[in-house]
Amino acid sequence: EPEVTQTPSHQVTQMGQEVILRCVPISNHLYFYWYRQILGQKVEFLVSFYNNEISEKSEIFDDQFSVERPDGSNFTLKIRSTKLEDSAMYFCASSRGLAGSEQYFGPGTRLTVT
Amino acid sequence: AQSVTQLGSHVSVSEGALVLLRCNYSSSVPPYLFWYVQYPNQGLQLLLKYTSAATLVKGINGFEAEFKKSETSFHLTKPSAHMSDAAEYFCAVSVDAGNQFYFGTGTSLTVIP
């Protein structure tokens, strides 16, 4: 069964450093998403991506964040200058984008900013 | 705007007992509703979804949920809890193709042997 994969599983970085989180969505999906989950809190939407551009973003997704689909398979989230409060689990998801279609989530990348 | 409220951040049941996890939604348009399960250190796995077909939806692992428009609810149930059901459960709503999911705060289910 096809699945969403994410690398790395755990990333430790120092405050102010740039990080890139990588995802490989399911191949025939059209919509790609990033969510984050701060420890003990709910899953929060960051951004969705369709047809090579951002289709929605939340207020969390400020200028420090960017997304890219550099080739036909990868989908990346870049945090330009990490802050302590960026420490969270980051989930990538993808969907067919049809009405009512579920989103398939990857296993997540745990980002720890020290 | 859309939102989801999950009453009860922690629920404990005995093995073999009924599981009931509550979810109420707010949506200005007919919603699509989902239940996801998250096991420790894993991603979110879809349990079931409501997409305006049958109001009683059956999912994996013996779970089901009933969409009640009059109560704006989509509670998750399972007749008999199993130890392996211990996990975090999230209710989510979306309203259009490709749109973001709005998640509830989650309910942690503990199953007591």
* CA dist., res. B33 & res. B51, Å (int): 7
Average pLDDT over residues B48-71: 92
Quick one: tokens of A73? Answer: 């398979």
The answer to whether the peptide bond before residue A25 is cis (omega within 30 degrees of 0) is no
- pLDDT surpasses 80 at B1: no
User: pLDDT grade, residue B35 (50/70/90)?
Assistant: very high
Tell me which residues of chain A have a pLDDT lower than 70: none
Closest CA relative to residue A46, chosen from B71, B92, B101: B101
Q: Note the Cα A68 to chain centre separation in Å.
A: 10
| CA separation, residue B102 to residues A2, A35, B2, B3, B83 (Å) | 24, 10, 7, 6, 28
Choose between B69 and B30: higher pLDDT.
B69
- Identify the residue among A6, A34, A42 best suited for mutation to test binding to B, counting B beta carbons within 10 A and taking the highest: A42
pLDDT at residue B42, as a whole number: 83
Residue A107 pairs in a beta bridge with none
- Angle (CA) A93 A99 A102, round 5°: 30
User: B105, A41: Cβ pair inside 8 Å?
Assistant: yes
The model's pLDDT over A55-75, given as tens digits with 9 standing for 90+, comes to 999 999 999 999 999 887 899
The model's pLDDT over B64-95, given as tens digits with 9 standing for 90+, comes to 999 999 999 999 999 999 999 999 999 999 98
To the nearest 5 percent, what fractions of chain B are helix, strand and coil? 10, 50, 40
B45 interface with A at CB cutoff 8 Å:
yes
Amino acid, res. B107: T
A90 interface with B at CB cutoff 8 Å:
no
When computed from its CA atoms, the radius of gyration of chain B, rounded to whole angstroms, is 13
- pLDDT surpasses 80 at B41: no
Q: Note the Cα A107 to chain centre separation in Å.
A: 11
A-B contacts at Cβ under 8 angstroms: 62
Task: Give me the sheet containing A5-7, strands edge to edge.
Answer: A5-7, A19-24, A75-79, A65-68
